[in-house]
Copies of this chain bind each other. A is one copy, B any other.
Amino acid sequence: MSEQIQPGRRRKNDPDGMRRRILDTAAELFQSRGYASTAMHDVAHEAGVTGGGMHHHFPTKKSLALAVINERIRPGVTETWLAPVLEAASVQEGVAQVFREIRDALTKAGRVRGCPLNNLALELSLMDPEIRVAISAIFAAWNTALVEKIATDQSKGRLTGHDPQRLATLIITAYSGAMTLAKVQQDPRPIDTCSAELLARMEP
């Protein structure tokens, strides 16, 4: 029975898997090396994909950047930031928890590579309007979630004396800046310091 058509030599079509591998690799490399310093070839090689496969899924580097932003960074922010804060008993507790967990992760990693959103935001904002808008949308969603949470907390007396919009902006910018500082100093402590000072005036 010569039915076997050389098993093992056959190519397996797995478009979703390949796309996922490319995106994961790209997200990783964009963060650790930066966008401009990451070659398409590097992504392909690291993901175990050929140039042709790469081009099939992401014809241009920009399309890859957009996909990374929308399919990796945006969900990442939601998971790491928004969900925990929204589910926390109060903004204070949520913020404290998020800062703490991120600090712990960085400490464990032994290397501070910065916030993925932050990194791409700075590098790509002025390069392409479409990308800028995609990144801007994430910040907007972040802001909206925080404002709502703060307003809810205030209505329930868990927080007083703050303008929700202003407080949300400070939380986002302080976090963003803290990640920058931690990256520059290769030291996660600014995150703690920042968190402490942020929460100091947010007692109910």
Closest CB in chain B relative to A176 CB, distance in Å: 3
CB contacts (< 8 Å) of A114 on chain B: these are 122, 125-126
Are A118's CB and B194's CB within 8 A? no
User: Beyond A177-B176, A184-B125, is A197–B113 a contact (Cβ under 8 Å)?
Assistant: no
CB contacts (< 8 Å) of A37 on chain B: these are 36, 127
A58 within 8 A of B: no
User: Beyond A174-B177, A177-B180, A184-B136, is A166–B197 a contact (Cβ under 8 Å)?
Assistant: yes
Chain A interfacial positions (CB closer than 8 Å to B): 32-34, 36-37, 113-114, 118-119, 121-123, 125-127, 132, 135-136, 139, 162-163, 165-167, 169-170, 172-178, 180-181, 183-186, 190, 193-194, 196-198, 200-201
A–B pairs, 21, beta carbons within 8 Å = A34-B126, A36-B36, A114-B122, A118-B180, A119-B122, A121-B183, A122-B123, A122-B183, A123-B123, A125-B186, A126-B183, A136-B184, A139-B184, A163-B197, A166-B196, A166-B197, A170-B174, A173-B177, A176-B176, A177-B177, A177-B180
